């Protein structure tokens, strides 16, 4: 049943890629520096996290004796969380944003979340390449172990897409979902050791972390970039399963409700 | 290819008493359905055969747009099903997917892809799209600098860049300047000639009657009438005028055309005849001869004001000439039940050869939409022949006078011009 979906996506690949390109171009159209801004913005962010936090505030990670370690720890978590949050945040409103299009034209609707995901990936790719470049320049590049981020990213994207589509569909019927998503993401962010190391948490709170599916993912990134360590694959299996199931559920929910969705928009 | 089969089609929207009811229905597996169905379209069945052109009419809210949206696949039917054979193009909402910041050319690519065309298709179609839109160098300007007409031109050109097997048109075509309206209509006619099946929604009588083979009338979500465009349009016009307290009656004439009579009945046409100069009733008249249209009207109830109007229509139902007694400031006033009035309109039949019909209206004011005592389509049919005048084309006999100034080839002058 999913082959028909893939087939229609393939047929509309021109539209999907065109939309991604268009959205990317729209952002910097009519600005003097144009595409340069795609680099300046993330670069500024990386500098703030690494230089300001690590150097000026002298924030140190316990057990790691490197000036930049905390900055790298921050970036590893923040950049990947940023991708997750962007996919979720944009997917939950994607159907509402394109209400007129959905109402007036007949086209494979699954294109819309796909455009969101590809756009988020494009932004992420830019900032992540800059981050890797920064690591190379400062001599902190972890080496081959970097490859390990690919499977972890894949799991994270599948998870985010599944969750995003579910929220997107629900948001059409219950607008509360959109409001809720922002709040939940805030709590979720602070409940994941991104800004802080997990060791600073009290026992009781640390025990709760194992219920947070984002923790093994984020810790894998942090491990790769700060310690140059390979991820603990065994810890990622449950998350893989959750992601795949979530994604399948999202597709079936989407399929079941997409007709009704148009009536509601 | 190009077949449309609609069977038992229905569309209902779910109405929940509260927002929470929907949540309950979704979440609680044992809960009974809590919604009510609000039907906007019900039990609609029809077929459009390959190459046929069918018009859909109906007042706003009759379900026309919903029907088209289901046929194009934008919304899903609640009941029944639709079978389409062939490639479908829809002109429902022109300019969807246009982004104001991008150039016309970029937007053509985007909109085209949204309609399911590939980049290669669009590359090869681009010159034709550009030529048809006739927007010149604006093609490479951002769409926000376009006038709405230009945007329409471009959108229409993209949407009709390829001839589809089935073309679905909503009133979109009434936009744009007269020149482009003609041009776009010509393109639709070309498609039709080449075998495209056409489904068109319009309020425009002329459009429906000139292009369609059949028409469907939708009323309150149901198929109220299906038949020849003229007959359906007559019924539809009568229906608009009627809304309340009146009757619509249709009679089949000898030539199988349908006469529609509607109205509240305070006054009615007792007799209508066309007379020649000698006062004899005729059905065949020579083009250009003086004739008199005599209408006898019975007053059935007391009315304070009566206007008689007549309209001559050609075979396609398009108006040739019409006038009423209101417009020439001769309405009758304070009529009593039982009275009778005879109106005689005299004119020279300066119309071309062919079949014509006369529609009559008895109303209070200028328009039969206010108080319609009686409206009759096809009240009278007559034929015009042309044996005396030169055999001209068209319905207006303009008697063009000719003068020719002919300068025979002046050799001397021409050689002069060349040698210098």
Q: Where in chain B is the domain with CATH 2.70.50.60?
A: 246-385
Task: Please write the tens of the pLDDT for every residue from B192-201.
Answer: 888 888 888 8
How high is the pLDDT of residue A62? 64
A58-62, A249-253, B187-191, B393-397: the lowest-pLDDT one: A58-62
How high is the pLDDT of residue B395? 86
Nearest to B110 among A22, A29, A174 (CB): A22
How high is the pLDDT of residue A58? 61
Q: For the residues A214-242, what does the mean pLDDT come to?
A: 87
How high is the pLDDT of residue A166? 93
Q: What is the mean pLDDT of chain A?
A: 84
Q: Where in chain B is the domain with CATH 3.40.50.300?
A: 3-87+203-227
A-to-B residue pairs, Cβ atoms closer than 8 angstroms: 58
Q: For the residues A237-250, what does the mean pLDDT come to?
A: 91
How high is the pLDDT of residue A165? 92
Task: Please write the tens of the pLDDT for every residue from B153-188.
Answer: 888 888 888 888 888 888 755 556 777 777 888 888
Nearest to A11 among B92, B97, B116 (CB): B116
How high is the pLDDT of residue B420? 45
How high is the pLDDT of residue B113? 82
How high is the pLDDT of residue B170? 81
Q: A107 CA to chain B: closest CA distance, Å? A: 7
Q: Is the pTM of this model over 0.80?
A: no
Check if A173 contacts B (Cβ < 8 Å): yes
Q: For the residues B391-409, what does the mean pLDDT come to?
A: 87
pLDDT of B270 strictly over 90:
no
Q: What is the mean pLDDT of chain B?
A: 82
Q: What's the token pair of residue B162?
A: 């390829």
How high is the pLDDT of residue B419? 44
Q: What percent of chain B has pLDDT over 70?
A: 92
B182-196, B289-303, B379-393, B406-420: the lowest-pLDDT one: B406-420
How high is the pLDDT of residue B58? 83
> Where is A207: in which H helix or E strand?
helix A203-208
Task: Please write the tens of the pLDDT for every residue from A128-153.
Answer: 888 888 888 888 888 888 888 899 99
Task: Please write the tens of the pLDDT for every residue from B113-143.
Answer: 887 788 888 888 888 888 888 888 888 888 8
> What's the fold here for domain B3-87+203-227?
Rossmann fold (3.40.50)
Q: Which of residues 20-59 of A touch B (CB under 8 A)?
A: 22, 25-26, 29-30
Interface confidence: ipTM more than 0.95:
no
Task: Please write the tens of the pLDDT for every residue from B5-32.
Answer: 888 888 888 888 887 887 777 777 776 7
How high is the pLDDT of residue B368? 61
Q: A106 CA to chain B: closest CA distance, Å? A: 5
Q: B23 CA to chain A: closest CA distance, Å? A: 8
pLDDT of A28 strictly over 80:
no
Cα nearest neighbour of A20 on chain B: B110
pLDDT of A154 strictly over 90:
yes
Contact between chains at A101 and B96 (C-beta distance less than 8 A):
yes
Nearest to B22 among A30, A105, A173 (CB): A173
From chain A, the residues in CB contact with B155 under 8 A are: none
How high is the pLDDT of residue B274? 92
Are A73 and A198 in contact, with CB atoms under 8 Å apart? no
Higher pLDDT among residues B95 and B156, named by residue: B156
Contact between chains at A101 and B75 (C-beta distance less than 8 A):
no
> What's the fold here for domain B246-385?
Coagulation Factor XIII; Chain A, domain 1 (2.70.50)
């Amino acid at each position: 049943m999913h082959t028909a979906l893939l087939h229609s996506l393939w047929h509309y690949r021109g539209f999907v890629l065109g939309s991604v390109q268009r959205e990317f171009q729209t952002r910097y159209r009519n600005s003097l520096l144009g595409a340069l801004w795609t680099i300046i913005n993330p670069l500024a962010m990386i500098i703030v996290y690494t230089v300001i936090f690590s150097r000026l505030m002298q924030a140190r990670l316990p057990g790691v004796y490197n000036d930049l370690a905390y900055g790298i720890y921050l970036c590893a978590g923040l950049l990947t969380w940023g991708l997750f949050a962007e996919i979720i945040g944009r997917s939950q409103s994607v159907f509402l944003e394109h209400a007129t299009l959905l109402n007036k034209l007949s086209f494979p609707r699954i294109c819309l979340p796909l455009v969101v995901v590809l756009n988020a990936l494009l932004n992420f790719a830019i900032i992540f390449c800059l981050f890797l470049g920064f690591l190379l320049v400062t001599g902190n590049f972890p080496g081959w172990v970097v490859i390990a981020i690919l499977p972890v990213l894949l799991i994270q994207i599948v998870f985010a897409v599944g969750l995003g589509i579910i929220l997107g569909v629900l948001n059409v019927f219950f607008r509360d979902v959109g409001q809720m998503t922002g709040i939940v993401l805030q709590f979720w962010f602070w409940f994941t050791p991104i800004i802080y190391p997990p060791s600073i948490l009290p026992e009781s709170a640390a025990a709760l972390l194992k219920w947070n599916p984002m923790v093994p993912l984020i810790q894998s990134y942090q491990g790769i970039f700060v310690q140059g360590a390979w991820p603990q694959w065994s810890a990622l299996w449950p998350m893989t399963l959750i992601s795949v199931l979530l994604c399948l559920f999202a597709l079936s929910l989407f399929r079941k409700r997409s007709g009704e969705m148009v009536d509601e928009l | 290819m190009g077949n449309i089969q609609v069977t038992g089609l229905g569309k209902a929207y779910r109405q929940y008493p509260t927002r929470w009811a929907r949540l309950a229905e979704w979440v609680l597996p044992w809960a009974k359905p809590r919604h009510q169905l609000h039907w906007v379209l019900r039990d609609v069945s029809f077929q459009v055969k390959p190459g046929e052109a069918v018009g859909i009419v109906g007042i706003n809210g009759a379900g026309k747009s919903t029907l088209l949206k289901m046929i194009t696949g934008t919304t899903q039917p609640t009941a029944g099903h639709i079978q389409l054979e062939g490639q479908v193009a829809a002109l429902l909402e022109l300019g969807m997917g246009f982004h104001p910041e991008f150039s016309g050319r970029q937007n053509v690519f985007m909109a085209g892809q949204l309609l399911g065309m590939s980049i290669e298709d669009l590359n090869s179609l681009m010159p034709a799209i550009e030529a048809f839109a006739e927007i010149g160098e604006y093609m490479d300007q951002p769409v926000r600098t376009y006038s709405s007409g230009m945007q329409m031109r471009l959108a229409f050109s993209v949407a009709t860049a390829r001839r589809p097997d089935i073309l679905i048109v909503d009133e979109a075509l009434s936009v744009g300047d007269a020149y482009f309206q003609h041009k776009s209509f010509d393109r639709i006619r070309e498609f039709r000639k080449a075998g495209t099946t056409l489904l068109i929604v319009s309020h425009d009588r002329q459009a429906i009657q000139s292009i369609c083979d059949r028409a469907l009338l939708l009323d309150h979500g149901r198929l109220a009438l299906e038949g020849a465009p003229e007959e359906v349009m007559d019924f539809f016009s009568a229906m608009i005028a009627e809304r309340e307290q009146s009757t619509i009656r249709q009679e089949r004439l000898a030539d199988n055309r349908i006469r529609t009579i509607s109205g509240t009945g305070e006054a009615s046409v007792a007799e209508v005849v066309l007379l020649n100069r000698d006062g004899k009733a005729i059905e065949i008249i020579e083009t250009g001869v003086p004739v008199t249209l005599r209408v006898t009207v019975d007053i059935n109830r007391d009315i304070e004001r009566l206007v008689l109007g007549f309209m001559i229509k050609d075979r396609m139902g398009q108006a040739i000439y019409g006038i009423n007694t209101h417009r020439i400031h001769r309405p009758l006033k304070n009529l009593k039940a039982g009275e009778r009035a005879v109106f005689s309109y005299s004119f020279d039949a300066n119309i071309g050869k062919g079949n014509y019909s006369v529609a009559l209206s008895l109303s209070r004011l200028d328009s039969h939409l206010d108080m319609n005592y009686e409206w009759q389509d096809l009240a009278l049919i007559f034929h015009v022949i042309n044996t005396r005048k030169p055999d001209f084309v068209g319905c207006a006999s303009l008697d063009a006078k000719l003068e020719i100034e002919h300068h025979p080839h002046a050799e001397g002058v021409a050689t002069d011009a060349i040698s210098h």
